[in-house]
Amino acid sequence: MARSLSRYPWNPILRPDPRLEWQASGVFNPGVVQYGGEYVMVYRALSVPIVGGPEGSMVVSSLGMATSTDGKNFRDIRFFFGPEYEWEAYGVEDPRVVKVKRRFFIFYTAVSSYPPRGDAVKTALAVTHDFEDYEKWGVVIPFQSKAATLFPRKIGGQYVLMFTADPERPPSKVVLAYLDKLEDMTDPAFWEEWKREYERGEHRLFEAIPPQEYVEVGAPPIETEYGWLLVRPEIAPGSRFSIHATLLDLDDPAKIIADSGSLLVPEAWYEINGKVPYVVFPSGALIIDDVLHVYYGAADTYVALATIDMDDLWRLLGVGP
């Protein structure tokens, strides 16, 4: 029985391309979904250094896109979108992509200052039907946050939004917000009430507890017969990254059923060499032919893939036959 994720032998599956200025410095932290008989990847791209920024030069984060017929070999790379408005002027980062009904919701981190201040890092949303046209909803969580995603269907008659609160004010927390309608995400009154409840200690799913340094939402949750499968990063003292799989209750996603423990830590050359060495950061996951495919950013420079048979994962989680 496999007790860890297996790296795809031909990793990294996406690399920076010096011929493309908008992704010459890095490609990482991908979201992957199925659409139109293919797999669509939306990922963070880093540009060549741009002279004339607030500190003399800077790289700009934007979102790129690639497609695949098998979920492993991606092609047709193209620019998707970048900063367009003041609230995202210095970067659009780290997309999470989830399909809800007939639309794809692309949550991303919007940065409005450089260098980024804590209060300039917020969660924004773009919505598309076809990965050609998109509509930006703007900032949808009006306080410090990142790494948001929706569960792909209603639970108990409500939509459920999961995100990381206080990412720049430790301890970070993975939290839940319950929405009667999706438009609640843009309602300041909804968030005022939610924030009051949060400050009373409500809505919290995971919290970084010393000596743990940081928790964050990873890939959008996947519905399975045993629960919602959440592939996520953990960061231990010394910035030691690892990838975990956590199972949440189907009817009550605030209830944790099981956790796999560490499934992968930085060891391969593309995980320990790059802009930020020793990073493995999962932001996309799919089950393809009873195999969990985990798409992750490696060293903030590459996109990589690791897999595990679902039967092996269920045994690690203590569920299933």
Of 55-64, 142-151, 184-193, minimum mean pLDDT range:
55-64
- CA atoms of 249 and 144, how far apart (whole Å): 27
What is the pLDDT, as a whole number, of residue 141?
Answer: 94
What is the pLDDT, as a whole number, of residue 215?
Answer: 85
What is the pLDDT, as a whole number, of residue 210?
Answer: 65
Tens digit of each residue's pLDDT (9 = 90 or more) over 82-141? 999 999 999 999 999 999 999 999 999 999 988 777 778 899 999 999 999 999 999 999
Q: Does residue 4 belong to any structural domain of this protein?
A: no
State the pairing for strand pair 38-46/50-51: unpaired
Q: Does residue 35 belong to any structural domain of this protein?
A: yes
Give the type of residue at 40.
Answer: V
Q: Does residue 1 belong to any structural domain of this protein?
A: no
Closest of 113, 120, 56 to residue 89, by C-alpha: 113
pTM exceeding the 0.75 threshold for the entire prediction: yes
- CA atoms of 287 and 283, how far apart (whole Å): 14
Which among 104-118, 137-151, 228-242 has the top mean pLDDT? 137-151
- When divided into structural domains, the chain yields a total of 1
Q: Where residue 66 sits, what CATH number does that domain have?
A: 2.115.10.20
Closest of 305, 273, 271 to residue 291, by C-alpha: 305
State the chain's mean pLDDT as an integer.
Answer: 93
Confidence of residue 1 (pLDDT cuts 50, 70, 90): low
| pLDDT at residue 211 greater than cutoff 80 | no
Contact 293, 285 (CB under 8 A): yes
Q: What range does the domain containing 82 cover?
A: 10-317
Tens digit of each residue's pLDDT (9 = 90 or more) over 273-316? 999 999 999 999 999 999 999 999 999 999 999 999 999 999 99
| pLDDT at residue 218 greater than cutoff 70 | yes
- CA atoms of 196 and 199, how far apart (whole Å): 5
- CA atoms of 172 and 215, how far apart (whole Å): 6
